[in-house]
Structure 1
Amino acid sequence: MTTKRRNLKDFVFESSQTVSESQQPVSIMALSAIFLPSKQPRRYFDPVKMEQLIQSVKEYGILENLLIRPIPDQDGQYELVAGERRYRAAKACGLVEVPVTILELTDSEAISIALVENIQREDLNPVEETEAVLQLLALRLQCIQDEVVSLLYRMQNDVSRLTDNVISQPKAESLKAVFNELGLMGWESFVSNRLPLLKLPEDILDALRSGKIEYTKSRAIARVKNEQLRKNLLAEAIASGLSLNQIKERISNLNNGKPKQDESESALVKQRITSILDQVQKTKVWSNQKKQKQLEKLLSQIENLLESD
């Protein structure tokens, strides 16, 4: 098998394509010889879309090559650079071999390509996309992500103050060039709409990462100051599929109603019961006789409580 080395700038930004097929050496590779890298830009894969891809692979096979690179000092072993969804689908289908494109890449080049592949070609959720963009910017500017975030906020301040203290500096120009090359959104929109996502409470971030809620809804829910009320609203929004307007209406009721302490506690209890009932419907507890008996005992206690009212 032959490998081909290209300069990173030749393929990192090619309008959402990695390298044109006509210029790449193509091989058939044993799937067992390909390994995932230790750091991946993507952590969550939509199970419905993954199942659709698996069915497609079963019917048509892998239609687009996996991009891999040789693992140094490990003959015959390769690291996956781009195409993790296809890789996982191939494994799920029990494929023995897959079509690949092999390139000699440095660690930095491999990470850059993986980031761009995910940002431009995959259906990343907003949190992972934001984190991937920051990783790519840090790599391009050769600094840590905190410095990138600080630079972005300073650039935003310069724009609001109509000054160019930072915005015309070389690093700022390089940063703007990356956004232009990606073509996803402008840097100003990224600062205003995406960076705030990383400040959301962890439970909301987890729901975003797993695709359970849209980011516009998550930002609205995060405005609820009371932690328990926020958690309850998040659970209800996910379980009932609340629209953004419905979420805003509930938040407005919480803010404007100003319930007394006992009313607030009563609302919390009701929301907890609703949430627990929803969990009971989805859980496998009914297949466990011991847990089922415990539930029956608790239900009897609740019935007795209601009858004594």
Structure 2
Amino acid sequence: MAVDRLAALLADSGGTLREVTATQVLLAEASPRIQFHEFTSAEEATAGADWMWWWVDRDGTCFGLLSQAKILKVSGRRWTVDFGYTTKGHPQSQINKLIEAAKPYSVPAAYVLYCGDRRYRATIECSRTHCGVLCRDRERVGVSVVCALVAHKAAKFHQNAAGLEVFHDSVPVEDITSPVEGLDEPIHSLVRELDEELARFLRQPQRGARRVAKELLRPLEQIRRGQFARAATLEQTELTAGALFQNVPADRGYYSVPYLDHVLRGLRTGVPDYVRDVMEGRPPSAGVANRLGGIVVITDADALG
């Protein structure tokens, strides 16, 4: 709500919402419900990332993602998100750098989208609906999150319409652990030979960190089911130490990397040391602090209400 108000105020006064400002307002307003530790953004040009987000359940299960903040922009009637952005001296696109930068942390790459309030989105022409509501009229979608693999595919195959494709597949940050509409729906994977524990996770309702991982994975699975031209592989990926799921298929479809592993490697049985440092009020190591804009920690992510 605070970010939406800021976006509306700036639009009325002829100003422009900036990613850094929107993130600072979001975190300041959400504190102390969430914890955050801000570093410097000087490394963003090479790392391609702003913040690390971690949802931590009461039993220690947690889910992390490496995020880049982006604004949903409008020019005339064209809506865009600049996923192909490059910086001077770094010819690789920011989206590719973000996906690469997530690897050392064994977490997925994601975008936090700032999409303005409902008045700002009034001219979006997306005929698809969410529970009977037009895409542009969804509640709480002003601050949303989506896996970077969705954006990478959209930028490649949809080009000028990539921004709207990704906006449609994004999930409101406020809803990602505790859905307002009730229990989350099952995910039906194109990969049939799943480990029983993973199949149960996709089939049954989840809360907290598990639900965040499931909702980040959901649009990837939906898109993958439409890619029948490429058969699903049963080959297993290399195990991520501490990952909740140890048997994950290496299926990739038309994504740049195996999508199940990319998302689920961020779902852990225990909290990494640098996250524990933030939770206990200690500064994380320089190796982490020098590469990120900051760390966000949502504790008791599985709490009701």
Instruction: Give the shorter-chain TM-score range.
Output: under 0.3
Report the TM-score when normalising by structure 1: 0.24
Of structures 1 and 2, the larger Rg is shown by: 1
Structure with more strand by fraction: 2
Greater RCO structure (CA 8 Å; 6+ sep): 2
Structure with more helix by fraction: 1
Report the TM-score when normalising by structure 2: 0.24
